[in-house]
Amino acid sequence: MRKRKPSIPLKNLAGLLITLFITSCVSTKNVPYFQDISLADKSAMEKTAQFTDPVIQPDDILAVSIFTIDPLSSAVVNQTTTGQALGASSASTIGQQQVSGYLVDKNGEIELAVIGKIKLVGLTTFEARDLIRKKAAELYNNPSVQVRFANFKITILGEVVRPAAYTLPNEKVNILDAIGLAGDLTIYGKRENVLLIRDNNGKKEFARFSLNSSELFNSPYFYLKQNDVIYVEPNKARIAANNASRTQTFAILGSALSVLIILITRL
């Protein structure tokens, strides 16, 4: 009696063909960053983007600390109204150390205990520090003031490992820092056409850039601003993978249905 050769199940064959199809669609040509920089190139770039300090806007949260010779006076003036997570963290992170802050209202003002309301909209944190110190000096002898953003937030969406909104303790953040926070792009991210969305005086501003080119370092969008959004589009391989996944599901269901029909007809 001749032994029958084991046959490959239909669903396994379909899965194998789909895997081969997706693999063939993924090109490594556009995966490396800054492809125009050769391995032997050690020269420094003559021109790079200049960092400009972000300005204070309504709905920002500011961490303000005022120090005086009298500890009691310092404690009174440093009473705050809002809390915000400290550290580079995604919006879903909980249980972190809290830092107090002052919410900038729709008029661009914050209200400090004893000192009162101060309009800070449009100022950098350095300019805000000088203004608050000037106001505090009217009440206290030789005060020292620190001001920084407590909710400097950027959002990264699309084909990255950890898409999320990130709150940062540092205001000098560039595109590469943001991508690093998100765990880098996935293999399916379109590196040559990344979208940046920015709020500019109440209007949306859009810019596109390529991670394949060193021209990114010269871009006015290299350094990020408060509430910037980065979106990484999926490439053709991702779309093909999604379509192939559906095809594989249908193939498995079809195979199962065929087996079920055979079993029913044999009863």
pLDDT mean over 19-25? 50
SS (H, E, C) 72-92: HHHHHHCCCCEEEECCCEECC
The CB density around residue 104, as the number of other CB atoms within 10 Å, is 20
DSSP annotation of 215 reads G
Q: What residues contact residue 156 under an 8 Å CB cut-off, 6+ apart?
A: 162, 163, 164, 166, 178, 179, 181, 182, 229, 230, 232
pTM over 0.75: no
Residue 153 near residue 228 (C-beta atoms within 8 A): no
At 26, the pLDDT band (50, 70, 90 cuts) reads low
| 134-166: b (≥16 Cβ within 10 Å) or e | ebbeeebeebebebbbbbbbbbbbbbbeebbeb
Q: What residues contact residue 13 under an 8 Å CB cut-off, 6+ apart?
A: none
User: 152-158 and 229-232 as β-strands: parallel, antiparallel, unpaired?
Assistant: parallel
At 267, the pLDDT band (50, 70, 90 cuts) reads low
At 124, the pLDDT band (50, 70, 90 cuts) reads very high
Which percentage of the chain shows pLDDT scores above 70?
66
Distance CA 86, CA 83 (A): 9
* Nearest Cα residue to 120 out of 53, 56, 54, 65: 56
At 174, the pLDDT band (50, 70, 90 cuts) reads very high
At 140, the pLDDT band (50, 70, 90 cuts) reads confident
Nearest-5° angle of CA 84, CA 50, CA 118? 40
pLDDT mean over 154-181? 94
> What confidence tens digit (pLDDT) does each residue in 54-104 have?
999 998 999 999 888 877 666 656 665 444 444 455 554 433 444 468 999
